[in-house]
Chains A and B, each alone.
Chain A
C-alpha cells in the first residue's frame, strides 16, 4: 500500500486531497466561482475578452419563460440546451435536427426523437434547479450546436468531442481530448463513459486513451486508433486556454473547448475543479508539471507567450510505440 503510494508520488500523480487542499483552495478564491459556475456569465466574460464561444440563442431564467422556448428555436434546426450552473455535463440536451414531418419533434444526438413538451419539461427541471450545483433555481441556456471538425469523426460515437486543457497559474499544463462513446450517450464526460485521450502539448497530437481508469488504444465503439491524431488550431487552443486565466482569475482551471468546422476552437465552459483523470489519459502526473510552472512562472507573461512556453516545456515524455510503427 505504502509502496504503491510512493510509486505514485514518484510518478508525480496528483491526488484529490492534494488538488483540493494545495491548489483549488489556494488559487481559486470562492468569490470567483460564479465566473465559471454560471455559464451565461462565463460566456459574457469570454466574449468581452475577445474569445470565440458558441452563439447564445436565448436564456430561460424562470418558469414563465419556458413556454417561450419554441420562439427561441423557431428558425434553428439544431441547438443545445444546458443548465447555466450545471456540473459535470449533467442536464445537457443536444438536439441535432428536427423531425421531417413534425416541426415540434426533435432528434437528439443519440437519434432518439423527443417532443417539444419533453424539452420544455427538461428546461423546467433545469430552471427549478435540478442540475445546479447548489440546488438553487437556475437558468437554461439555448445555444449553437457545434458542428464538430471532421478530424474527430473516426474517434467519436455521436456527440461532440471536446478538448480539455488544465491551466495552472495561466500556463497550460496538460490537455486531453474527450471522445464520446455509446456508453456516454454522446456526452464528453469521462465519468459518464467517454474516452479521454492524452495530448502531446508540444505537437497537439493525441496519445493513448483512458476509459474508466483503464488505458486503451482503440475507441471502444469505432475501433479507430486513438493515438497519433493531429489536433487542428493547436496554437489557438492553447492561447485561448491560457487566456482563460485572465478571464476568470482562477489559478487552477480546466478550459473546455470544441473545434467547430467553420468557427474553429470555441470555449464551451470553464471549470474550477477539473478532474484528475487527465493524468491517466496522459500517463503522466500533474504534480511535476505544476512544479515546473511554479519554477518558470512570470506574472507579466502574455497568454500567447505562456502557450508557447507550455509547448516548449511539456512535450510527451515518451511516445507510445504505435503498432504499425516501423
Chain B
C-alpha cells in the first residue's frame, strides 16, 4: 500500500517536473545547454535628408512578417520627432513627424532579430488579382507570353518558373524584348513580373530584404518575387526562376510602394547597416515568453537580482549533491559522519577546488582530532568541550590561512570557507567513534565522508547540470521523486553484497 503511494507520488512529481521542463524547453525555447548563444542581427537604417522650410513627415516601411526570424526588439533614435507605428497596405510603417526642423536631419530605426526556423508567420491568402490595365502594344505581348507559358506549365509554381526562365533568356523573343525595354532596373523588372503574373490571375508581389551575413556597413536591399499558389506564399529567384529564398533572408517590406516617403524633405538617403551579435539564448527565450505573456516566466530565477541569482545557482545544486549522497549511502552503503556533512563539505570544495579541498579538509580534521585527544585528558563536560573544539578549529583555520599566505600559496586562504561548526562536530563525533569503536571504524567513516563529499562535489560541479537546474528548477521535483524512490529501496546495498558474501556461496 505504502509502496504504491510512494510510486504514485514519485510518478506525479516526475510528470509535473518533466512536463513543465518540456514546455519551457520546446515551447518557450529555453536552452538546455549552457553556452547556447543565438546570433542576433541588428539592422540599423539611417535616414538622411535635407529639411525643408515646413513640417516634416517621414514614413518608413519596416519588417512585419519575417519568415525564419523573430523580432527581439526595435527602437528609433530621432531628436525631437514624434514617433508612431502604423499599419499600411504594405505592412508596418514607422512614422516620424516634426513641426519644423533646420538643416540636415538624421533619423535612425533599429531592429534586432534572431533566427528561429519555427517562425513561419504566413500572410493571409490574397484574393485573385484583378486583370491589370496594360497599354498596347505591351498588352498583346503579355497575353502572348502568358498563353505560351501556360502551355508549358502545370501549376502556379511551374508557371512562375517558366515565366522567369523566359524573361531571363539570354536570347529573348521579340515579345520578351518589348516588355524588358520598359524595366530600367532590377526592382522594376520584378515589378513587371508581378504585373504579368497578375494578368494570369496569379497573386504575386515583390518583396525586399537583406541577406544577413556578418557585419555589413552598407547592406543592399535585394528584390525577390513572392507568389501565392492558393495555399501559401512561395519565393522565387527573379533571375533564375528557381524556387528559393537566400540564406538568412530578412524580408523588410512587401509590395510596390517605395521604402520611404518623406514629406517636406529633400535629398533623401536611406542606408542600412547590419551587425551580428551573439546573445544568450536564455535572454531571447525570456523576452519572447514575455511578449507572449507566459505566466511561468514571472517565476523564473533569471528575474531575480544578479547577486541573488548567484546564491541560488549554488543552493539549487545542494539537492543534486544530496541525491548523490543518498545513492552512495543507501544504495552503495558507504558510511559517513553526520547526515549532510559530506554535502556541506562538497559546497566548500566548490571554492577551494578539489585537490586543495581534500588536502585542507584532511589537514583540518587531523589537526583538530589530535587536539581533541589532548582535550580528552582535561575531562571537560560536553558543551564546553564542543565549544573548545570549535574554537580550536577556528584557530587552526586562521593558522593554515596565515601559513599558506606566507608561503605564497593563496589557495590555502580558502580554508576559511569550510563550515567550521560542521567540522567541529565531525571532529567530536570522529574522536568518540575512535575511542569507542577503534581507529579503523573512525577512519572508515571519515574516508567514507570524504568519498561522498568528493562525489557530491563532482556532481554539483557539472556546469551543464547547474545550468539545467537553474534554468529549469522544476527538475528538482524529479530529484525529489528519485529520493522518494530511494527511500523505499529495499534491495541490498552494494557493500552488503561483499559483507554477506559468505552466505551467497551456498
Contact = CB atoms under 8 A, between A and B. Distances in A.
Contacts of A117: 379
Contacts of A90: 432, 436-437
A90 B441 CA distance: 13
Interface string A18-61: 10011000000000000000000000000000000000000000
B374 interface: no
Interface string B238-271: 0000000000000000000000000000000000
B125 to A, nearest CB: 63
Contacts of B488: 21
Interface in A86-139: 88, 90-91, 117-118, 121, 124-125, 128-131
Interface stretch (A1-9, A155-163, A265-273, A304-312): A1-9
B355 interface: no
Contact of A16 (B333, B432, B437, B506): B333
Contacts of B436: 88, 90-91, 131, 192
A11 B506 contact: yes
A129 B379 contact: no
A63 B381 CA distance: 10
A199 interface: no
B381 A128 contact: yes
Contacts of A18: 490-492
Interface string B370-390: 000000000101110000000
A293 interface: no
B148 interface: no
Given A4-B497, A191-B441, A130 B382 contact: yes
Interface string A268-284: 00000000000110011
Contact of B502 (A1, A183, A213): A213
Contacts of A191: 437, 441
B503 A283 contact: yes
Nearest to A12: B503
Contacts of A11: 503-504, 506
A165 B100 CA distance: 104
B494 interface: yes
B218 interface: no
A15 interface: yes
A282 to B, nearest CB: 9
Nearest to A192: B437
Q: Lowest 3 A-B CB distances belong to which pairs? A: A128-B382, A7-B504, A121-B379
B464 interface: no
B494 A1 contact: yes
Nearest to A19: B490
A90 to B, nearest CB: 4
24 contacts: A5-B497, A8-B496, A8-B497, A13-B496, A15-B490, A17-B490, A17-B491, A18-B490, A18-B492, A21-B488, A90-B432, A118-B379, A124-B379, A128-B382, A129-B382, A131-B432, A131-B436, A192-B436, A193-B438, A213-B499, A213-B502, A214-B502, A280-B502, A283-B503
A51 to B, nearest CB: 28
Contacts of A15: 490-493, 496
A285 interface: yes
A128 B383 contact: yes
Nearest to A20: B490
Given A15-B490, A15-B491, A21-B490, A279 B500 contact: yes
Given A90-B436, A121-B379, A8 B503 contact: yes
Contact of B500 (A1, A8, A192, A193): A8
Given A17-B493, A192-B438, 18 more contacts: A4-B497, A7-B504, A8-B492, A9-B492, A11-B506, A15-B490, A17-B330, A18-B492, A63-B381, A90-B436, A117-B379, A118-B379, A124-B379, A129-B382, A131-B432, A214-B502, A279-B500, A280-B502
A4 B441 contact: no
Interface string B420-442: 00000000000010001110010
B502 to A, nearest CB: 5
A280 B500 contact: yes
B406 interface: no
Contacts of A131: 432, 436
Nearest to A193: B438
A268 B300 CA distance: 59
B164 to A, nearest CB: 68
Determine the interface band of chain B, counting residues with CB < 8 A from chain A.
20 to 34
Interface residues of A, number: 40
A27 to B, nearest CB: 13
B503 A125 contact: no
Contacts of A193: 438
Given A17-B330, A130-B382, A285 B503 contact: yes
A247 interface: no
B501 interface: yes
B489 interface: yes
Q: Which of B437, B487, B493 has the most CB of A within 10 A?
A: B437
A81 B492 CA distance: 37
A130 B432 contact: yes
A17 B438 contact: no
A203 interface: no
A13 B492 CA distance: 9
A98 to B, nearest CB: 21
B62 to A, nearest CB: 66
A64 to B, nearest CB: 13
Interface in A180-231: 183, 191-193, 210, 213-215
Contacts of A130: 382, 432
A120 B506 CA distance: 51
Nearest to B498: A213
B101 to A, nearest CB: 82
Given A8-B497, A17-B489, A17-B492, A215 B502 contact: yes
B493 A16 contact: yes
Nearest to A318: B506
Interface in B449-497: 487-494, 496-497
Q: Which of B381, B441, B491, B500 has the most CB of A within 10 A?
A: B500
Contacts of A16: 333, 493, 496
Contacts of A214: 502
